[in-house]
Every structure is written in C-alpha cells, then in structure tokens.
C-alpha cells in the first residue's frame, strides 16, 4: 500500500499510520474493492451529508490519498451503524477503516470534533464521560438517582492510578 | 440466572427510566442483578475514535471486574455491549495488546483473562427467560397496542462478532413484544440507525435521520416505538420535539418506550416504578390504555 503524506506530518507518524492501516485493511487495494456501492447505499450519513461516501472513501484509501482523508471532516460523521461492514461482499469494513483514520487524525494533531476532549476529560476526572444529572419529569420537576431510589454511582477506586494509566495510553504516540 | 449489572455512562447519568425498569422487572422474572463497584466508561465511542488501545483498556478493565466477581456481565447499553464484544475479540487476536492491557491492569489490582461472558438484555429475556417465561407472568396483556420494534444497530451488527439476533432480519425483540400481548410487524426501516452518533458533528443531520424513521413508523400505523438502546431512546424520545422542528413536521408524535417499561406495565408494576414519568414523548394515552380501569 502506498502511503503519501504531506510534509507537516513527521516520519514517525507516517510509519505508525502505515502500520495501523496495514493491520486494519490488510492487503486491501483497488482490485479487492469492486466499488459495488453496497456500503454507500446502506449508509445513513451518505443520504444526509454530501461528501461522505464509504465507497469513495475506500477508493481514496486504495489510491493512497491518506493525508487528504485524515484532514477531511467527513471521517467524523460516521454514525458507527456498521451496515457497511455487514454488507460488504469483500469483507472490507469502511467502518473499521474510518476508526483507524480518526485515530490517526487525532494523533497527527489534525481537526476533530471538540466534544471528544470533553469525553476524554470526563473519563480522566471521574471515570465516566458524564455524571448523574437531575432528570426532567414530564409533569414538571426534576428527579435525581436518589429520589428514584437508585444506588449511588462509584467510579474507579483509585482515581489517581486510573487517570495516570489512561492518560499515558491516550498520549502514547500522539504527535504534537 | 445471575449477572453483574454494568450501567455505563449514559444510563447512570440520565437514563433512569431504563435502569429503574430493569431493576423492577428482571427480579420478577427470577433474574438476579448484582451491582458492580470500581467501574468506568467502556471507552465507546469516546476513546475508540482517538485511542483504540485506550478503548480496549477501559472495556477490558470492566470485564476484569466481572471476572473477579465470578459472574457473566449484562451491559445494559447497546454501545457498551458491542464495545465489550469487540474488546474480547481484539485481545484474543492480539496477545501483545492483551499483555499491554494486563500490565496496566495490574497497577489497579486487576487482571483480564477473557473468561467472563457478555450477555445482551435481549438474550437474557428472549433466550434465558424465554417468551413463555414472560407470558406466564403477564398480569395485564397489552391487547390492541401496535408497537414497532427498534433493536438498534449495536445489538445486531456486526454478525461476524456477535449473535444476539439475525443482523438483517432480527425477530427477538418482536417476539418479546408479542409475549406481552401487543401487536408488532416488520417494517422496512426496522434495522435503520437512529443517527445519534452523528450529533457530535452535525446536529441537523442527526435529527433528520431520526425524523425520517419516526415518520415512517407513524405512517405504518404503529402507536409507539420500543427499544433497548439508551442512545436510540434519547434520540427518539428526548429529542422528538427538536426532530419535529428539524423536519418541519408537527404531526410527528410517537410514544417511545424502553422494552422493560412496557414489560413492567404488563407485569403489574406502577408507571412510577418504571420511570415512565421521565419519558418526554407522549406516552400517557398508551400507558392509560394498558392500565385500563385501574
């Protein structure tokens, strides 16, 4: 597989990207994907967002246009519905390729939806993305877990150790 | 039947109707639930998109806790369920990743072996309890109520990793709905995505994807939509008002239920114990119809 990347992504990242892509898409190249379009016809996002099309995405990967894809905001619009993976007659999974591209874009310091930082911070602070809310009742008023008799929520016992581990794993190999 | 109950971020933070109705109904069907301590997020989709290793670490960590408890785990959320299944597969395939995970788990006093089984709520109800096991405990049959089944993507796909139900023709949630005396039938959009994961990048598109499905469900004569996924539920129930706006269609009015909420009504539980006061969609008419003269 040919990996072409613009010069602002360093060589270490290029090597890492090649490795991850090879691992996830194996020997995939243009001849393997027949461009039949079953993935795109099943894709809920393709119907709504121009510029997102799993069939074309696979073609671009096969042509080695990785740098272009990594910078494309479209890779962040996949709903992870997995229909493309389910229906591909060649067992190529656009979903898994997208997941790899997202990981790589994040590592290469390219644009990604800011909400992911909130997710990560939540996990590092309390073990979970979100914390218990008081939920609106249809007839008015708000209800807490306690008011509903639901047990308290407890995160990792030793938050400092947990945070250290997860932080290190996320940061490992991230290029800045 | 005894399982470790894994809630995950979304359910424990705001999907109390799901949690309350599960805690209310499963024991009535002789399913014992044991709460877990020391848990964390499963890693999906927060970390799967930015750090695959971090994602598998979090899922393996929760699985290691259930191994310590000596129990199989029931993750209530579709997303957490698939996340655990994917991690089990990834760690089986990649011994080096398993080693990295275990080297870190050791610092938290945990170890992942891969011995705990992951079960889905639909499997517990359909395969373990069974439709007869449910039917015989039904006190109020949901006669004359037409409900659409929406199992949700992560309960049925990908078929190469999980076998909760058929990926292209899922029928188990339908069977469970019928076990309560309600009516259901197949519809073309049944296995379509709710679009909720798109909310992080495009709010309007996510509402349109959900809106098209609600319009379809309504057009077939269904009186309500039933799911077991917290993401799908939030999309169809809590955001229904926003969906109406995005679709410019004020006629969209679909009562949305967690399966365990209608199960609970059929088993004779009160709406409050099932958290039905927190559904934001117009569920009152159906709830009253089921409760009858009580």
Question: Does B277 lie in the same domain as B176?
Answer: yes
Instruction: Give the per-residue pLDDT at B64.
Output: 98
Q: Which chain A residue shows the shortest CA-CA distance from B13?
A: A132
Question: Does B12 lie in the same domain as B90?
Answer: yes
Confidence band (pLDDT; 50, 70, 90) for A65?
A: confident
Q: What is the domain range of residue B42? A: 2-107
Closest of B22, B18, B108, B79 to residue A155, by C-alpha: B108
Cα B86 from Cα B161, distance rounded (Å): 7
Instruction: Give the per-residue pLDDT at B219.
Output: 98
pLDDT at A23 over 70: no
Instruction: Give the per-residue pLDDT at B201.
Output: 74
Question: Does A130 lie in the same domain as A96?
Answer: no
Return the SS3 of B52.
Answer: helix
Complex-level ipTM:
0.94
Give the contacts of B106 (CB within 8 A, at least 6 positions apart): none
Residue A176 within a domain: no
pLDDT at B286 over 60: yes
Instruction: Give the per-residue pLDDT at A3.
Output: 46
Q: Mean pLDDT of all residues in chain B?
A: 96
Question: Does B248 lie in the same domain as B148?
Answer: yes
Return the SS3 of A34.
Answer: coil
The C-alpha R_g of chain A, in whole angstroms, comes to: 20
Residues 71-130 of A with CB under 8 A from B: 73, 76-83, 85-86, 93, 99-100, 102-103, 106, 112-113, 115-116, 119-120, 122-123, 127-130
Question: Does A121 lie in the same domain as A101?
Answer: no
pLDDT at A128 over 90: yes
Question: Does B212 lie in the same domain as B177?
Answer: yes
DSSP annotation of B276 = G
Instruction: Give the per-residue pLDDT at B216.
Output: 98
Phi, psi dihedral angles at B118 (to 5 degrees): -105, 125
Instruction: Give the per-residue pLDDT at A16.
Output: 61
pLDDT single digits (tens) A83-117: 999 999 988 889 988 998 999 899 888 989 999 99
Question: Does B211 lie in the same domain as B263?
Answer: yes
Contact of B196 with chain A, judged by CB distance below 8 Å, is answered with: yes
Please state whether beta strands A142-143 and A135-136 pair in parallel, antiparallel, or not at all (unpaired): antiparallel
Q: Which chain A residue shows the shortest CA-CA distance from B207?
A: A48
Question: Does B284 lie in the same domain as B139?
Answer: yes
Indicate yes or no: CB of A106 within 8 angstroms of CB of B49.
yes
Question: How confident is the model over B101-112, as a mean pLDDT?
Answer: 97
The residue out of A74, A107, A140 marking a domain boundary is A107
How far does A110 lie from chain B, in Å, by closest CA? 11
Of A8-17, A72-81, A166-175, least confident by mean pLDDT is A8-17
User: Mutating which of A38, A79, A110, A116 best tests the B interface, going by the most B Cβ atoms within 10 A?
Assistant: A79
Instruction: Give the per-residue pLDDT at B200.
Output: 76
Host H or E run for residue B123: helix B121-123
What's the pTM value of the predicted model, to 2 decimals?
Answer: 0.94
Provide the domain count of chain A. Answer: 2
Torsion angle in degrees (nearest 10) through CA of B164, B166, B170, B173:
-20
Return the SS3 of B35.
Answer: strand
Tokens of A19: 């490795």
Question: Does A97 lie in the same domain as A45?
Answer: yes
Question: Does A129 lie in the same domain as A91?
Answer: no
Indicate yes or no: CB of A83 within 8 angstroms of CB of B193.
yes
Alpha helices in B136-222 (DSSP H): 153-156, 172-178, 203-219
Q: What is the domain range of residue A139? A: 115-171
Q: How far is CA B262 from CA B7, B8, B178, in A?
A: 20, 22, 11
Percent of all residues in chain A with a pLDDT value above 70, rounded to a whole number? 80
Instruction: Give the per-residue pLDDT at A4.
Output: 47
Question: Does B44 lie in the same domain as B10?
Answer: yes
Instruction: Give the per-residue pLDDT at A8.
Output: 47
Contact of A154 with chain B, judged by CB distance below 8 Å, is answered with: yes
User: Mutating which of A104, A139, A165, A174 best tests the B interface, going by the most B Cβ atoms within 10 A?
Assistant: A165
Question: Does A16 lie in the same domain as A93?
Answer: yes
Indicate yes or no: CB of B193 within 8 angstroms of CB of A130.
no
Question: Does A100 lie in the same domain as A120?
Answer: no
pLDDT single digits (tens) B175-229: 999 999 999 999 999 999 999 988 777 788 999 999 999 999 999 999 999 999 9
How far does A29 lie from chain B, in Å, by closest CA? 22
Contact of B40 with chain A, judged by CB distance below 8 Å, is answered with: yes
Contact of B168 with chain A, judged by CB distance below 8 Å, is answered with: yes
Residue A25 within a domain: yes
Question: Does A99 lie in the same domain as A71?
Answer: yes
Question: Does B220 lie in the same domain as B76?
Answer: no
- Closest partner residue to A85 (CB to CB) among B40, B158, B275 is B158
Instruction: Give the per-residue pLDDT at A7.
Output: 46
* Terminal CA-CA length for chain B: 32
Question: Does A102 lie in the same domain as A19?
Answer: yes
Question: Does B260 lie in the same domain as B160?
Answer: yes
Cα B294 from Cα B241, distance rounded (Å): 30
Question: How confident is the model over B17-42, as a mean pLDDT?
Answer: 98
Closest of B113, B29, B25 to residue B63, by C-alpha: B113
Instruction: Give the per-residue pLDDT at B203.
Output: 81
Indicate yes or no: CB of A79 within 8 angstroms of CB of B195.
yes
Question: Does A60 lie in the same domain as A121?
Answer: no
Residue B100 within a domain: yes
Question: Does B140 lie in the same domain as B68?
Answer: no
How many CB atoms within 10 Å of residue B8? 26
Instruction: Give the per-residue pLDDT at A22.
Output: 62
Instruction: Give the per-residue pLDDT at A61.
Output: 85
Residue B21 belongs to domain with CATH number:
1.20.1050.140
Asked if residues A58 and A33 have their Cβ atoms less than 8 Å apart, the reply is yes
pLDDT at A25 over 90: no
Residue A97 within a domain: yes
- Residue A27 vs residue A42, higher pLDDT: A42
Q: Which chain B residue shows the shortest CA-CA distance from A152?
A: B12
Residue B265 within a domain: yes
């Amino acid at each position: 597989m040919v990996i072409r990347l613009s010069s602002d992504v360093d060589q270490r990242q290029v090597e890492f990207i090649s490795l991850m892509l090879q691992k996830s898409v194996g020997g995939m190249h243009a001849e393997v994907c027949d461009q039949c379009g079953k993935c795109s016809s099943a894709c809920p996002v393709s119907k709504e967002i121009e510029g997102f099309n799993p069939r074309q995405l696979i073609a671009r990967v096969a042509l080695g246009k990785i740098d272009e894809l990594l910078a494309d905001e479209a890779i962040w619009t996949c709903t992870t519905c997995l229909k493309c993976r389910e229906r591909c007659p060649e067992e190529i999974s656009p979903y898994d390729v997208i997941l790899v591209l997202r990981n790589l874009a994040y590592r290469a310091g390219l644009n990604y939806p800011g909400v992911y930082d909130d997710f990560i911070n939540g996990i590092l602070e309390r073990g979970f993305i979100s914390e218990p809310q008081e939920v609106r009742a249809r007839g008015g008023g708000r209800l807490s877990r306690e008011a509903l008799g639901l047990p308290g929520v407890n995160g990792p016992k030793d938050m400092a150790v947990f945070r250290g581990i997860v932080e290190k794993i996320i940061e490992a190999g991230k290029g800045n | 039947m005894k399982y470790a109950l894994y809630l995950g971020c979304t359910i424990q933070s705001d999907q109390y109707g799901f949690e309350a109705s599960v805690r209310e109904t499963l024991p009535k069907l002789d399913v014992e639930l044991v709460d877990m301590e020391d848990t964390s997020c499963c890693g999906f989709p927060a970390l799967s998109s930015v750090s695959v290793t971090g994602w598998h670490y979090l899922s393996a960590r929760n699985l290691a806790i259930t191994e310590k408890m000596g129990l199989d785990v029931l993750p209530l959320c579709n997303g957490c369920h698939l996340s655990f299944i994917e991690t089990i597969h990834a760690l089986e395939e990649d011994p080096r990743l398993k080693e990295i995970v275990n080297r870190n788990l050791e610092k938290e006093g945990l170890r992942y072996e891969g011995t705990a089984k992951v079960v889905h709520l639909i499997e517990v109800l359909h395969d373990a309890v069974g439709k007869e096991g449910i039917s015989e405990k039904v006190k109020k049959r949901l006669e004359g109520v037409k409900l659409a089944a929406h199992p949700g993507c992560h309960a049925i796909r990908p078929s190469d990793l999980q076998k909760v139900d058929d990926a292209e023709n899922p029928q188990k949630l339908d069977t469970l709905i019928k076990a309560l005396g309600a009516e259901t039938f197949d519809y073309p959009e049944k296995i379509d995505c709710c679009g909720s994961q798109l909310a992080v990048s495009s709010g309007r598109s996510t509402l349109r994807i959900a809106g098209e499905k609600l319009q379809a469900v309504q057009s077939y004569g269904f009186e309500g939509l039933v799911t077991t996924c917290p993401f799908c539920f939030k999309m169809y129930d809590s955001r229904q008002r926003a969906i109406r706006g995005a679709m410019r269609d004020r006629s969209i009015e679909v009562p949305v239920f967690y399966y365990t909420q209608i199960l609970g009504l059929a088993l004779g539980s009160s709406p409050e114990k099932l958290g039905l006061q927190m559904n934001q969609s117009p569920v009152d008419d159906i709830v009253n119809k089921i409760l009858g003269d009580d």
